[in-house]
Copies of this chain bind each other. A is one copy, B any other.
Amino acid sequence: MMDAIQILRQLKEKGIRFTPQRQAILEFLLSTDTHPTAEEIYHHVKQRFTGMSLGTIYNTVKMLKEHGYIMELSYGEMSSRFDGNPENHYHIACQKCGRVFDYNRSFPDLEQEMESHQGFQVQGYRLEFFGLCSACLQAVDTVKTAEAEAE
């Protein structure tokens, strides 16, 4: 897996400048598995770069996405989240707390679909699960137990 410096060196060959802001944003994205929003990246990176602006976050993630180094996960209601792993993989979003987790499963008959064409040229797909994460599930169970005990 490439690190931030290696990626920025590759980008430099395309005429894209190596800036400390870009390095900080990319390092954060590569170091976390929390799939942060632009706002979350901003708050994290601002701790070291006091002058950092949200516009720079958006510009940078857009550029990194266009060059295939990160992935954008867009959920209808909420703001986009960014994933330092650009390989096709799945996620599950907790309906309660909103956190997004990697969901490492394989679906052979779905994955084979990429080879079939029927009038369409299928270029890709996005599969997103939603449910309740273990923490939220436990919280619900606790409430249920308390309710049962109160009766």
Contacts and interface: CB of A to CB of B under 8 A. Distances in A.
Contact of A131 (B72, B123, B137): B123
A95 interface: yes
Interface in A105-126: 105, 107-110, 113, 119-126
Taken together, the copies of this chain in the complex come to 2
Contact of A123 (B95, B105, B119, B127): B95
Contact of A120 (B72, B75, B80, B92): B92
B132 A121 contact: yes
A6 to B, nearest CB: 28
Contacts of A76: 72, 74, 80
A120 B137 contact: yes
- The interface centre, meaning the residue of A101, A119, A133 with most chain B CB atoms within 10 A of its CB, is A119
Those 7 A-B pairs whose CB atoms lie nearest each other, nearest first: A74-B76, A119-B134, A122-B131, A123-B131, A121-B132, A125-B129, A107-B110
Contacts of A121: 131-132, 137
A121 B122 CA distance: 30
Interface in A66-120: 72, 74-77, 80, 92, 95, 101, 103, 105, 107-110, 113, 119-120
